[in-house]
Structure 1
Amino acid sequence: MALTDIKCKSASPRDKPYRLSDGKGMYLEVRPNGSKYWRYKYRFVGKEKLLALGVYPETSLAEAREKLLRARKLLEGGVDPSQERKKKKALAKESAENTFEVIAWEWYANRKSRWRERYAEEIITRLEKDIFPEIGNIPIVEIEPPLLLHVIRKIENRGAYELAKRQLQKCGEIFRYAIATGKALRDPSQDIKEALMPVRKEHFAAIDIKELPEFIAALERNDARLYQSTRNALKLIMLTFVRTSELINATWEEIDFDNKEWVIPAERMKMGKVHIVPLSCQAIEVLENQKILAGQWPLVFPSSVKPRNSISNNTILGALKRLGYQGRMTGHGFRALAMSAIKQELGYRHEVVDRQLAHVPKNKIDKAYDRALFLKERKIMMQEWADYLENLK
């Protein structure tokens, strides 16, 4: 006879456990201490088994019957309800342990060997700053598009639109890694791309060729009272038009005074390739002057406060500001300036200047001829460029 709520509620404890049957294998077990448990007795592959359906009254009679119905449907489909429950518990535990931060570190360890050390450090530092505090402890399978968008929006609210875009890309890589390793089912980053603020690519500020004479004159007069080391840094970046990061982290070991070459190792280059910078007589003179000032340190341009560290990008920007070129010139601007001036004023082919800028060819045909480094031509070009700048004085 089927049970009722009144029968379940009024069932009193006895000296020994006893059962109140509801039919179809389900019953309410009443213990001597008054506890009441829903149970389902069934057979699977010829063996008798027992499945717990909950505790009364937390699990009502109606709820116990719903659980019974789901269990019987599993049996009809050839699935053992007990094993299915164990499987779900294991998956739930695994899901709780596989938080976004756990998976992110696993992804990072998998990818790290492919990246340059500085780039790898930059990636994990940004994740630790912007992403982990927000969603690091949340199971990765529970992160939905609105939550991820909220995290990225906080970066945008700082005005860091390009960084927000890059952080979303890295999150997408982590989600896709989780999918590949069976720890996630979808990548929510794909759903919020269109919700991001559009990023306008802006060129680095650079003065025009006709403004070069006045800039050189201002640097020579030094009304801004820049340190000699800072002036040397500006002169060298103008003569060699390397990236600012390549300049400020230069070491004396990289400078070959005899062969008049600056050999920048692959790990310091953006494209991960060794880069040779031919040094003009004027560049050698600047370096010899700097050697007197900082030759006792490994770095060519050490910090005046902590000489074991290099000067910063802000040192270059600050010097340009004091010279009166804030917003008009940047360290990177010397690259654009050199590209234009050398092609326009000295008549060199684009590909020669491009190799000196350490750019990677964009199309397959150019890449096939990437071995043509034009080194001899570049040596002549760099000396002509230095002479051109000197004549502007």
Structure 2
Amino acid sequence: MTLPMSEADRDGSAARRRRVRTRPVDVLIALSWVLLACFSVAVSSTMQVVAPAVLVLLVAAGLVFFRRSRPVLSFAISFLATLPLALFDPTLGTLAVGYSVYAISVYDAPRRAWACASLSAGVILAVAVLSPFDILPGTDPALGTGLAGVVAYVVTGFLILLVALLWGQNSGSRKRYVDGLLERAHHLEREHDQQVQLAALAERSRIARDVHDIVAHSLSVIVRLGDGASAVVEQEPRRAREAIDQVGGVARSALGEMRRVISVLESSPQSASLSVGASREDLERLVEVYRGVGVPVSLTVRGETPAQSGVQMTVFRVVQEALTNVLRHTESPSLASVVVETGRDVVVTVRNDGRIHHEQRSDSVGRGLVGMRERAALYGGTLTAGPDGDGSWLVRLVLPGAGA
């Protein structure tokens, strides 16, 4: 089975192909340099052939093997090798150094290219100054000892360095621009992958909260109904049957909610409804479920239903979790009051007047409280839960600006 190639793999393959294509060019340049130098050595009568040939090979090796990865080292090899090479052919040495300056301009910092070019220009001036006084005994006679020969050599050398420098600067700028675009593309790709992972993590956390709320609410109600039915099945079989019927209704409702959560996972991103709302009627039905299992609950709703479906569901889930905690963690009978106020802000208050089990009198009552706080944080809100000072347990949700 062939896996699809990622963007980074394609870029790496393209880079490898570019390297493969440029290697023959490097070898061709080096061979041209060797042939030119050997020809110059062969026609020169001022030196032995062997020593210049060795210098030529050193320069060629530097140009081929180091001009991309170590351009400054390539320049150093060329520069040191062409110092004695200048004794029999100064122009050929200048060509080698000029090519190294070009490589530095393309593959290294521009300031280093200017520094190397300045150093090379100084050597050219030194050769030009020393040649007319015959201090360099191997100086090519073609250079001459007259002023015209010196000027021609200096101008030629400076032109070679200038052309190499400017051409290299232009090529280097273009290369750095393209490399910058590729790096930015890779950065954006990595950033996109991170955003996708964060979105997947957030969605997974949202689904986990939904599943927890559905399961905790449904099982708590079912357990209470089952216990009640078991307690009265012999004395009051009719009430036991009603409780069992309610168990079926709660289970079917939970199954429907679970199917809705799963449908989000199976839907396409374009058609998935990630945040289904909850109306006032849904709150009333929720309260009726808890009344049916013996928890006296009062519901007060002030203002209009929030426009955002996500805010509606947050209110619904917080009320559901708070009432589930009332059912699970308080001694019966316990009176619970739910107040939902919608103005500019959405404020939900759930107060439980029953006595809470000692082990639950804590600000850390498990995943349910964490989930409620996470829901509140999604809309910039806050959620507090704890004793109210008079023996009551108070859950308060505030969503600033969510009702506007």
Normalised to the residue count of structure 1, the TM-score between the two structures is 0.23
Larger Rg: 2
Bigger proportion of residues as helix: 2
Normalised to the residue count of structure 2, the TM-score between the two structures is 0.23
